[in-house]
Structures are given as C-alpha cells and as structure tokens.
Structure 1
Amino acid sequence: MIVTNKLTFQSKELITNYLDYLEHERRLDEKTREVYSREVTSLLTYCEENELDISTLTLNDLESYIVTHTKDMKARTVSKIESALRSFFKFLIVEKIREDNPTLLIEKPKKEDYLPYTLTEEEVNDVLSIFKNEEGDVNLSFRDYTFFEVIYSCGLRISEAVNLELNSYNPDEKTLRVIGKRSKERITFVGEVAAEALDEYLRDVRPVLASRRKENQDRRVKKNRESEDALFLGRRGQKLTRQAMHKRYHALLEKYGIKATVHTLRHSFATHLLNHGANIREVQTLLGHSDIKTTQIYTHIEKDELLDIFDKFSHLS
C-alpha cells in the first residue's frame, strides 16, 4: 500500500478503506490495487496541497489535476489513471461522501493503435530452449523451462502462473484450473509439450525443490503452507514470486540479446491460435478476457492468412 506521510489522518484512512473495498468488494488483484492506491494518493496529496476538499472537488478542479499530473504521458497511461480515479469516485458515492462522479464527464483520451509484439513459433521454441539448456542448477533450469512453457502453452499471465497450486493441474485431462483477474476462474488446456514438461517436473524436480524447504514453525508457517500447495517452487522450496520470475526471465534473455517480455509469450499464444484457425471467441475464453475488445487486438496477426484468401479469390479484382 502506498500512503505518503504528507497526508492527513483522514486521507490515509480513506485510502485504507478504499483498498479494502477494492480487495473485498471489487476483488481486484494486488497489482491493480497498488496502481489505484498510487493514483488516489497522488490525487489526495494534490487536494491537500491546494486546499481542495475531495467531497466537493469540481470537474474543473479534477481536469486541472489530470492535465498537470499526466503531462507528456501516453494516452494508454492516462486512460489507466482515469480508470483508477473513476473507481475511486464510485467508492466515494458508495460511502456517501459524494453524490456525483465528475470523472464520468471527462473526455477519454484517444488511444493509440496498439499492436502487441509477438514471437513466431520458432522464436518461442528458441526462447524456451534457452531456459531448458541453461547451465547451473539443472532443477532450476527445468523448473524455469516448465514454468514458461506452461505460460506459453496456456496463454497465462505471470501472476496466474505463480499462483497455480498442485490441485490446479489435472494430468489425466491435461487441463489447468486458473484463477485470473478479479478471482475469475477458468479452465484451460495444456499442450502436449507442456504436459510432458509438467509431468516430468512434478515427478523429478518439484520433490527435490520441496526437500530444500526449511522446517520453520514461527512467522513463516503461513508461507510454508503456501509452499506446500504451490505448483512451482523456488530454489529453497518456497512459493515462487512474480518478481523473481520476471528477474530470471529478463536476465537470461538479455544475455542472449533477445527483447521479449514474459507477456510476449501470452501475446504469441493468442496469435498462434488465430493463425491456426481458432476464432476470436475461443481465444477470448482461453485468455480469460471479460471483454472481446481486448482480444480483438490480436486479429491483425491474421493478415498473412487474409492475403492467402485474397490471392485465392484474386479473380474478383
């Protein structure tokens, strides 16, 4: 939670209550709550510095803040900030602190056309083989390979992958039960290569990592319990963190001069599905997108197939 010492007690308490609302009522994930907390803290700091009351803040006041706060930011970033502020003012209405939501009257910034960067199937295989063949602790290398293979094979977000539990994987049906954004559950299929890697990891690697876990009966009991349930374990047998896997991923890829984020694997998964004939609704379901508009950013990838179709019917031109 991000709360500046400059804020009054009332503002700090308001942020605390808002974060409770986001977690328990809206069921937003920790990363989103951190972003929303940062933006609301910034707004309340601005209000206090300019002797403005959040309960009576006008549209003009809010627009002045946004213009100042978002100077030189990209439209996508501004849009995310405004989304956080809209959520906060909805909360203020729920708490009867305000009767209106001035953010609804703010003109949304025009988003730039955004096409996600993707890898070809061959490039994905090259990336995954880097982890599989990395020198050092063979158990960690295979753990990393399996982790990122599952992300690609199932189109997972990294936060979804680190939160997988042992009972999330059904080896008989080759499926994963995934808990996505806002705690929404979905079932996704595990490809043959990923399933083989998972089976080997569970049989040969995870037991080794689990054996490294230090028995601790103090404040780490909860963490030990999380580690016992976690599908993917760290070098000491603890549950993996998103930050640790981001660090391992980027450190190794930078070594080979490859510029691709972990999320690129998810983008590539969606792209390759479309290229192999899946329809956009199917991809939406597998990715766990609540809005199909989010999935539609991938449809540009089909241009090669569209060109093939155009060539077949070129007699029409």
Structure 2
Amino acid sequence: MNKWLPFIKSYQSYLRIERGLSANTINNYTLDIEKLCLFLDENQIDISPVKIDSEQIQQFIYHISKAVNARSQARTISGLKSFFSYLIFEDYRKDSPMELIEAPKIGRKLPATLSVQDIDRLIGAIGFGKKDNNEAERNRSMLETLYGCGLRVSELVDLKISDLFFDEGFIRITGKGNKQRFVPIGNHTQKYIELYRVNVRPNLPIQKGHEDTLYLNRRGRKLTRAMVFTIIKKLAEKINLNKSISPHTFRHSFATHLLENGADLRSIQLMLGHESITTTEIYVHLDRKHLAQVINAFHPRK
C-alpha cells in the first residue's frame, strides 16, 4: 500500500482540482483503488501501480466477482480504468493494465418512480398539529423542492437563501463538479419554501457559517444527506408504500412526469444538469403508453 499512496494522493488532487469532482465522488474512486491494494496485500503481491500488469488485475477482478454483483464489478473496473488513464496522462506508465479487462454486461437499472398520488400521500403523511410544527413545515418544503425542481439530495442540502431568485422564477443550483445551473421553480414550490423561510427558519439557533443555508436542523446547522434519506424512509413506512425509495426517486419522478406531459428531453436535460442527453435518455424511462401517445400525436401517418 505504501507504494500506492503517493500516486493515490496525486490522483485525488487531480480529481479535485482539475476535474472539480465532489468529495463523495473522489472517495468512491479512491475506494476502488483501495480494494485492489487490499487484494495485493492479502496475497503478498508487492508491486507498485507503475509495474502492475493485466494478469494481476485479472486475478483481482476474478476475486471480487465471487463477492459482488455485476454492477459493482463494472463500477470498480471503471474506477480503476480512470486511475490508470491518469497515470498514463502523467507519464508514469506507457500503457494501461486495464486495456484487455472487460466489464460484465449489465442491464439498465431504472429507479422506482412515484406517481403524483404517491407524492401527495407522502407529503400528506407529514405530521402537522403535533408538538414540532417547525420540523413538519421544513420537511414539507424540502419534499416539494425535491420534486418541484428535480434536485439531487446534495443539491437540496446545499441550497442557499442567496440562490433563490423568485422574482425571476429560478433557483441557482450548484451540481456535480461545482457546475452551476438555473432551474425554474413554480409558484407552488415557492410558496412552501417561503412558509418555511419566513415562519420557521428565523426561530432556529442559526450557527456561524450556516447563515445563508436554507434548510437547517433543529440545532441551526445544515442538514445531512442521511437525514433527508431517513425522513423519506419514515414517511414511506407511515403510508405503507411498497417501494424502495430515496430522495433520488423524487428527481426521477420529476423527469418522468415532465416527459409524460410533453416536455422535450433537451429541456429536461438542462433542468437535471446532465452533461450529455444520453444520460437523460437512460435516466428517464419511456413506457409504451407514452411512446404510443407520441406516435399518435406527431407522426404524419398516424
């Protein structure tokens, strides 16, 4: 592992500074390399990333294939390919030991989608009228914003008051790689953000450094992503929703409902902050009913 550390640290700096990736993404890339290092240590293979060859990589891939599914294997292979491409880019190596390594074929995995009725039921299950209406008001505002703007959970918890441009009908989002985009926000979602911002947030003991953070916990600090996951999981249990959902389910539902109601993929791509429209095409599943409606509405020989 000691032979690998300087290269890993250099790679992390490259991902952070030159590619502008988030700490979570960098951590995921690093974990892929650390898995390989652990395998080498356990098998007493003392070799640096500059000298390792495809045969040793293949041994590692065979090893993990017995413990993880095809999707996890593909993710690890992708991470290692990125690392060795970086080593070539920096002239540490002339070739990549990953060149002959093929990732397993995986089917397209589409996340669960909520209907508009499901979303109404989840938000309706938020417990108003109890002791802490402040928390209920915040949770309703967060879920309306997740669904109304199609945000990632990290974008939601990082949202700032200074990012709200309600007069113009937009909010400013800082997404992956610190790339900013403006997302339209409807009056319905604005209303619930304002109810929370005006009536609840000023009553919290806002901590230093969080003065501009929109959504706060009861101690006046930024909410964690895990807390948002927990809130949604409890609401799903409360209404006996037989689906495995997460904050990302709201984002997927946002895109799917827009598509089903006639929005074009390019507009959805811009709102979601996808670099490539191919990502949007994969992300938004097209059901047969919608495809039939498109043909009936737009084809000249319908």
| TM-score relative to the length of structure 2 | 0.89
Aligned to 2:254: 269
1:93-242 matches, cutoff 5 A: 93-131=88-126, 133=128, 135-209=130-204, 212-213=205-206, 224-225=208-209, 227-242=210-225
Aligned counterpart, 1:46: 39
Alignment gaps of 5+ in structure 1:
1-6, 215-223
Superposition deviation, residue 231 in structure 1: 1.3
Q: CA deviation at 1:129?
A: 2.0
Is 2:244 the counterpart of 1:255? no
Q: Tell me how far 1:98 sits from its aligned partner.
A: 1.5
Identity of aligned residues (%): 34
CA contact (8 A) 1:116 1:297 kept: no
Contact 1:131 1:141 in 2 (8 A): yes
- Residue 3 of structure 1: aligned partner: none
- 1:247 is matched by which residue type in structure 2? T
Distance 1:207 1:104 in 2: 57
Q: Is 2:18 the counterpart of 1:35?
A: no
SS of 1:284's equivalent?
A: helix
Structure-2 change in CA distance of 1:136 and 1:254 (3 Å): farther
The letter of the residue matching 2:136 is S
The answer (yes or no) to whether the contact 1:44–1:54 under 8 Å persists in 2 is no
Identify, as 1 or 2, the structure richer in helix.
1
Alpha-carbon distance, 1:132 to partner = 6.1
Q: CA deviation digits over 1:163-183, x for unaligned, max 9?
A: 111111112112111111111
Greater CA deviation, 71-80 or 275-284?
71-80
**Matches of 1:165 and 1:247, distance apart in 2:** 22
Deviation at 1:252, TM superposition (A): 3.1
Q: Distance in 1 between matches of 2:80 and 2:251?
A: 28
Distance 2:275 2:79 in 1: 18
- Moved runs in structure 1, 4+ residues, more than 4 A? 308-313
Shift of 1:134: 7.5
What's the CA shift for 1:195? 0.8
Are 1:60 and 2:60 an aligned pair?
Answer: no
- Cα RMSD for the two superposed structures: 2.4
Contact 2:137–2:195 (8 Å) recurs in 1: no
Farther off after superposition, 120-129 or 250-259: 250-259
Q: In the alignment, which of 306, 311, 314 is matched to residue 291 of structure 2?
A: 306
Query: Residue 19 of structure 1 aligns with which residue?
Result: 12
> How far did residue 311 of structure 1 move?
7.1
**For 2:12 and 2:133, how far apart are their aligned partners in 1?**
41
- Report the counterpart of residue 83 of structure 2 in structure 1: 88
CA distance in 1, matches of 2:296, 2:87: 57
Q: Distance in 1 between matches of 2:10 and 2:54?
A: 24
Distance 2:52 2:27 in 1: 23
Given that residues 47 and 54 in structure 1 are in contact (C-alpha distance below 8 angstroms), is that contact kept between their aligned partners in structure 2?
no
1:12 is displaced (CA, Å) by: 3.0
**Aligned counterpart, 1:217:** none
Given residue 106 of structure 1, which amino acid in structure 2 is its aligned partner?
A: I
Question: Residues 171, 310 of structure 1: CA spacing in aligned structure 2 closer, same or farther, 3 A cutoff?
Answer: closer
**Which deviations, in whole Å up to 9, do the C-alpha atoms of 1:286-310 show, x marking residues without a partner?**
1111122221125543422333466
In the alignment, the residues of structure 2 paired with residue 173 and residue 302 of structure 1 have an alpha-carbon distance, to the nearest angstrom, of 34
Q: Distance in 2 between matches of 1:251 and 1:16?
A: 39
Gaps of 5+ in 2: none
Deviation string 1:211-235 (CA, Å, 9 cap, x unpaired) is x236xxxxxxxxx21x112111111
Contact (CA 8 Å) 2:255, 2:284: kept in 1 or not? no
Contact 2:4–2:49, Cα closer than 8 Å, also in 1: no
Deviations 1:227-282 (A, max 9, x none): 11211111111111112222222233223322321111011000000011011111
Deviation at 1:107, TM superposition (A): 1.9
Contact 1:176 1:188 in 2 (8 A): yes
The CA deviation at 1:68 is 1.0
Contact 2:228 2:247 (8 Å CA) reproduced: no
Is it true that 1:281 corresponds to 2:249 in the alignment? Answer: no
Q: Aligned partners of 1:298 and 1:87: how far apart in 2?
A: 23
What is the aligned length? Answer: 297
Query: How many Å separate the matches in 2 of 1:131 and 1:103?
Result: 50
